[in-house]
Amino acid sequence: MSRRGFITHTVGLAGGVAAASFLYRGAQASALPIAGHRVVDLDLLDTDRRRPIPSRLYLPQRASPAQPVPLVVFSHGLGGSRMGYRYLGSHWADEGIASLHPQHVGSDSRIWQGNPLELVQRLQAAASESEALARVLDLRYSIDTVLASESASVIDAARIAVAGHSYGANTAMLVAGSRVSTANTGVTDLRDPRIRAAILISAPPFVGQGPAEQVLGSVSIPTLHVTSLGDTVNIPGYRSTVEDRIAVFHAMRASPRTLAVFNTGGHSIFTDRTTISGPEIASRIKGATRELSTLFLQQELPKARRMTGFDGDSAPATALKAPSEAQLTHDGSQGIGQWLLRHQDLLDRFIMPGGATVSQWPKPSTR
pLDDT at residue number 311: 34
Does some domain include residue 347?
A: no
**Mean pLDDT for each 10-residue chunk of the chain (367 residues)?**
30 30 34 68 93 95 94 91 94 96 86 78 75 90 94 95 95 92 67 96 85 88 96 84 95 95 94 81 95 95 49 41 47 70 94 77 44
pLDDT at residue number 14: 28
Domain total for the chain? 1
Does some domain include residue 93?
A: yes
Does some domain include residue 362?
A: no
Does some domain include residue 336?
A: no
Does some domain include residue 343?
A: no
Phi, psi angles (nearest 5°) of residue 338: -65, -40
Question: Is residue 259 within 8 Å of residue 225, measured between CB atoms?
Answer: yes
Does some domain include residue 357?
A: no
Could you tell me the CATH number of the domain that includes residue 21?
A: 3.40.50.1820
pLDDT at residue number 236: 74
The range of the structural domain enclosing residue 224 comes to 17-320
CB burial class (10 A; 0-12, 13-18, 19+) of residue 229? middle
pLDDT at residue number 340: 93
Does some domain include residue 181?
A: yes
Q: Tell me the pTM.
A: 0.81
